[in-house]
Homo-oligomer: A and B are copies of this chain.
């Protein structure tokens, strides 16, 4: 583990802090009348002062001779007996899900009191390989939000040799070793392929072992894993999980020495189900943390980040101190970074959140690494617009001009009807079911059927310009407009398009290619919704407030004018191409039967 340079704590810095608190040098900031939350003891320390020098805290206490810390340039902040709590830590998040760049995310997350996150750049890793991960690391270096990096462990989601899809990039064990030597990588991202783990698969164990050797923390992804299968998974060296769904499952994981990251994101919300653990007085919760996993820009902007989760927990009856520990000291201990973050104490990085109430966290002043980022709600820090290499801004290459014919399904019969393997989806769920439906054929073209809610879908390789297109039908999406195209399609993030009208579909594809990534909704030849995600086809490079406003106005318009619930389609289509979740998926190579792990024909052979 090579920590980012902000964590470096050299002799000069130590001496500066010592000299400051001994009164030999003036402090940079002195905070008075603070009600500090001590997360180590679980107490509120009333009327304390905090003396800050450079990036770190020089001392906390009720000093009699406070004047000796205050020089001409010292900033004195009166906390007015507000609570001052440690900056929040999110131990597992995919920044890409917010549609924001790391810089954009940082600006909003800091507003909500987050000062450290562990980001798993799994999406950009799929789109750009280690170059994408390195781009995140580089961008993080200039930010007041400490963005620590989990190296994505499962890129691509499927073994390319199985030929189920055209992948973007892969990150192999050698890449992991290379990345582990870079500043800022602290962990191996969620190990999703638990089947391989419990089978003792060499490839995945090599990755985990390599990560451990570099001192990285290995993160799990083990929904519903129990009993000896869970033991086997842990034995690989995986000591945390953020996919725990049920109370008993969480308890078992905690008992087996696993950190349980209680996830409360935008789409997946586990807090209420797992809150029972936090409500039981007799259960030690030091192995519990909160994590957001995936958070969209809407929730981030309107409801917040870790503050939102803490507030929801408090509303469920959980003790505020305990809730805050789950977002501060507990993840710091998990990360073995408790010497630096998660605690308001001498020698620690000065990451502070001011809130008027402890039972409802509303950060108004946020200090990160001794720097005031927000003061009474007002932004005090300039976030410089990052620049990106053209390689990361031009990631959509479909290799040819798409024709409507490329997106529709043809049959050997000229007219009549034909049985077709289709994908049934359930918006709100990640699962799909394989169905056989009878569809009309007109002049060799198999037709979608709006009455049955069956529409065209196609997945186009957008990474290598092979011209590969997989075609099929989706049932149950409930989409009413002409077509939707998007470059967010886990995990490979090829270009997915769905619709009734091939002309609208072509137009949506053309537009997504033109803007080099994003989401485009077309109805009757008109663009009725668009999000430009130029960075890797995943993230917007605009200011986060602009991204939020555009997103908000788009979904409002779609809902009010077209009765389209954008989120549901977008999320469902984003998973339509992931050939590791049962039961049937569509990739650029065609329909995939997930349990068989093979491509199956669209039109069953006996027809």
- A→B interface (CB under 8 Å): 9-11, 14-15, 17-19, 21-23, 38-43, 45, 51, 56, 58-61, 63, 197-198, 200, 202, 205-206, 208-209, 212, 215, 227-232, 234-237, 239, 251, 254-258, 282-284, 286-287, 325, 333, 336, 338-339, 343-348
Contacts and interface: CB of A to CB of B under 8 A. Distances in A.
Given A10-B209, A21-B231, A22-B228, A345 B42 contact: no
B18 A251 contact: no
A236 B18 contact: yes
A228 B62 CA distance: 10
A272 B265 CA distance: 47
A34 to B, nearest CB: 13
28 contacts: A9-B237, A11-B205, A11-B209, A14-B205, A17-B232, A18-B197, A18-B200, A22-B198, A23-B228, A40-B284, A40-B286, A41-B251, A41-B255, A41-B283, A41-B287, A42-B284, A51-B231, A58-B235, A60-B231, A60-B256, A61-B227, A234-B346, A239-B347, A256-B345, A257-B338, A257-B345, A257-B346, A286-B286
Provide the main secondary structure of the chain A interface: mixed
B14 A235 contact: yes
Given A15-B205, A51-B231, 6 more contacts: A14-B208, A14-B237, A17-B235, A43-B282, A59-B235, A60-B231
B232 A22 contact: yes
A43 B255 CA distance: 8
Contacts of A61: 227-228, 231
A121 B347 CA distance: 27
Contacts of A11: 202, 205-206, 209
Given A18-B200, A236-B18, A45 B255 contact: yes
A44 to B, nearest CB: 11
Given A18-B198, A43-B255, A336-B336, A235 B286 contact: no
A254 B239 CA distance: 27
B40 A287 contact: yes
Nearest to A277: B41
Contacts of A236: 14, 18, 347
A333 B287 CA distance: 11
A59 B228 contact: yes
Nearest to A285: B41
A385 to B, nearest CB: 35
B45 A256 contact: no
Contact of A255 (B40, B51, B206): B40
A286 B10 CA distance: 28
Nearest to A322: B284
A9 B212 CA distance: 9
| Residue in A22, A39, A202, A325 whose Cβ sees the most chain B Cβ within 10 Å | A22
Contacts of A256: 60, 345-346
B21 A232 contact: yes
| Residue in A206, A234, A254, A258 whose Cβ sees the most chain B Cβ within 10 Å | A234
Contacts of A258: 345
| Residue in A40, A254, A283 whose Cβ sees the most chain B Cβ within 10 Å | A40
Contacts of A344: 257
Nearest to A23: B228
A21 B235 contact: yes
Nearest to A238: B347
Given A18-B200, A21-B231, A41-B284, A257 B205 contact: no
A231 B63 CA distance: 11
Contacts of A348: 257
A17 B23 CA distance: 56
A237 B340 CA distance: 10
B287 A234 contact: no
A134 to B, nearest CB: 24
Contact of A227 (B63, B206, B232): B63
Contacts of A229: 22
Contacts of A343: 257
A262 to B, nearest CB: 15
